[in-house]
Amino acid sequence: MSGNRVTTEENLTMKSRYNLLLFLILALPALACNLVNQLVEPAPTFAPPPTADTQLPGEATSDPMATPIGGSTPQPTTEGEASPTPVALGDLGPPPEDAVALADWLNQAYQARPDILPLCGILREAAWMPPDAACDQADLDGEEPPEWILALYLEPTPDPGSADSIQGPPGDIWIVGATGIVYRMLGPESADPFGQFPELVALDDLTGDEQDDAIVRYVTCGAHTCYSNYEIVSAHGGAIRNVIDVDEPAVPEMADVISMPTVQQEQVIDATDDELADFVISGGLIGSAGAGIQRPYREVWAWDGTAVTLAEREWEDTGYRVHRLYNANAAFDEEEYDEARALYESVIVDPALQEMAFIAPAEEVRAYTRQFAGFRLALLPLLRGDITEATRWQNWLGQEYANSPLSNAAAMLIETWQQNGNNLPAACDQVSSYLAGQADVTGPLEDMGYGNPTLVAEDVCPF
């Protein structure tokens, strides 16, 4: 099943992450320098996708200034509208120092159709662009000429500072096309002065219209963790625009941004077996003590006919018992009940699983983790009317955790279900009402760090 794997508790977790991200962006730039106490080295690696079928952005390796810049041949404009008379690049004068004026300058330059390498040489000379910044062209809209994809400083920056700084010099991605500046990743209003310099990750067709789309990225770092933020720019079906659609974004500003902490790998591969390239990223760990020990995850972002959306999120199996429970819950929420049952059983019986202490000692986390799994194992058989198997797990809970809220809840669930004509949602309602009045239903599972799901009484019986 290629369904969306975002579950309720995981959404809450993601919200925490996005809220943290927003918090860090808005309020804590000064903390960026405080790297002393980090538990997990963020050290995100941003290697280009290692696949042969990915077209990586070209590199401007030749000396751009070695090419004469005045001799560009203006191309004939398309019929119809009158276009301004192209001005040769050499006659334009140097790029202005103001971003608004630079947009005009780039528009005029684009009309002259110069080679892009000398153009970028001029932009570097004017301190608008660092030496290794994106300077690429690709025909995104299927109409000649190709669009320019340029990574530029927010303002001319002759001395960008230490390259070792976790915060790079701020910048933006501009795409220049026939109608002017057709796209800016951040834009003048929201450009992040504390982010790292943005980059072009890959050019590939993710939408199936046989025109390249541009995956662009900017990285923003907080005290402990760097977040990679991506947009995917396409002309599919119309104007050049970012085509990402995030289902249930934590904040409205993130509705069209793919964001992941501590990205370890980026790939452009067909992960969904529809012969169309997808954007696949792995990572996800927040390197702060308060986030707890987390599961890395992998996301597949794929074209759905209208937008690039999250096709799949898979959590790694870390070998921790409580993480196995989270993975079982994810399968349960996906209604993959056979997989969920197998995972819940292994939470209880797998001798190789590790315990995790967080605020509570490991033994306490273990006990509540097994109880939660035990309750779900008593619940799941009732979906197919298997009272014998449900009772078996109720008895197990009664022996191992006598009179605990979850043990009592399992007994109440089965009894109510038998008496109410096998109405499972109604039985769950009754159980939830009971649990709402109990203390310590899920114990330490309520807070295993903000990077982990939160499990509370109302999550126990969610029908």
User: Which neighbouring-strand residues pair with 268?
Assistant: 279
* Separation between Cα atoms, residue 183 and residue 176, nearest integer Å: 7
Smallest gap from Cβ 298 to Ca ion, in A, equals 14
Tokens of residue 33, six digits: 């320098």
- The DSSP annotation for 399-436 comes to HHSTT-HHHHHHHHHHHHHHHTTS-HHHHHHHHHHHHH
Q: How many residues does the chain have?
A: 463
One of 13, 54, 72, 207 touching Ca ion (CB under 5 A): 207
Judged by CB, which is closer to Ca ion: 233, or 460? 233
Smallest gap from Cβ 283 to Ca ion, in A, equals 20
Question: Would you say 64 and 133 are in contact if contact means Cβ atoms under 8 Å apart?
Answer: no
How many amino acids of this chain bind Ca ion (CB under 5 A)? 15
**In this structure, what are the phi and psi dihedrals at residue 299, rounded to the nearest 5 degrees?**
-120, 140
Judged by CB, which is closer to Ca ion: 10, or 147? 147
Burial of 265 (0-12, 13-18, 19+ CB in 10 A): middle
Smallest gap from Cβ 435 to Ca ion, in A, equals 42
Smallest gap from Cβ 141 to Ca ion, in A, equals 4
Judged by CB, which is closer to Ca ion: 280, or 343? 280
Judged by CB, which is closer to Ca ion: 97, or 143? 143
Smallest gap from Cβ 139 to Ca ion, in A, equals 4
Judged by CB, which is closer to Ca ion: 78, or 165? 78
For the window 34-63, what string marks contact with Ca ion as x by the rule CB under 5 A? ------------------------------
Judged by CB, which is closer to Ca ion: 298, or 321? 298
Residues 356-375 that bind Ca ion (CB under 5 A): none
Q: Is residue 269 close enough to count as binding Ca ion by CB under 5 A?
A: no
Judged by CB, which is closer to Ca ion: 60, or 206? 206
> Among 197-205, 401-409, 411-419, 436-444, which window interacts with Ca ion (CB under 5 A)?
197-205
Residues 228-267 that bind Ca ion (CB under 5 A): 234
Smallest gap from Cβ 301 to Ca ion, in A, equals 10
Tokens of residue 369, six digits: 């983790």
Question: Would you say 183 and 240 are in contact if contact means Cβ atoms under 8 Å apart?
Answer: yes
Place of tokens 């669930």: 413
Judged by CB, which is closer to Ca ion: 210, or 363? 210
Residue 307's contacts (CB-CB under 8 Å, 6 or more residues apart) are 243, 244, 245
Residues 285-324 that bind Ca ion (CB under 5 A): 302
Judged by CB, which is closer to Ca ion: 238, or 437? 238
Smallest gap from Cβ 404 to Ca ion, in A, equals 46
Q: 25-35: string of b/e by CB count within 10 Å (b at 16+)?
A: beeebeebeee
Judged by CB, which is closer to Ca ion: 211, or 265? 211
Burial of 314 (0-12, 13-18, 19+ CB in 10 A): middle
One of 205, 299, 312, 333 touching Ca ion (CB under 5 A): 205
Tokens of residue 295, six digits: 């599961």
Residues 208-227 that bind Ca ion (CB under 5 A): 209, 211, 213
For the window 124-143, what string marks contact with Ca ion as x by the rule CB under 5 A? ---------------x-x-x
Judged by CB, which is closer to Ca ion: 205, or 333? 205
126: left (phi over 0), alpha (psi -120 to 50) or beta: alpha
Smallest gap from Cβ 335 to Ca ion, in A, equals 23
Smallest gap from Cβ 180 to Ca ion, in A, equals 13
Smallest gap from Cβ 250 to Ca ion, in A, equals 26
Residue 23 neighbours by CB distance under 10 Å: 11
Integer angstrom CA distances of residue 47 from 150, 199, 264, 269: 19, 12, 8, 15
Smallest gap from Cβ 112 to Ca ion, in A, equals 16
Judged by CB, which is closer to Ca ion: 9, or 141? 141
CA proximity to 304, closest of 252, 234, 249? 234
Question: Would you say 36 and 265 are in contact if contact means Cβ atoms under 8 Å apart?
Answer: no
CA proximity to 358, closest of 445, 430, 432, 278? 445
Question: Would you say 220 and 282 are in contact if contact means Cβ atoms under 8 Å apart?
Answer: no
One of 272, 288, 416, 442 touching Ca ion (CB under 5 A): 272
Q: Is residue 278 close enough to count as binding Ca ion by CB under 5 A?
A: yes
Q: Is residue 355 close enough to count as binding Ca ion by CB under 5 A?
A: no
Interface positions with Ca ion (CB under 5 A): 139, 141, 143, 205, 207, 209, 211, 213, 234, 270, 272, 274, 276, 278, 302
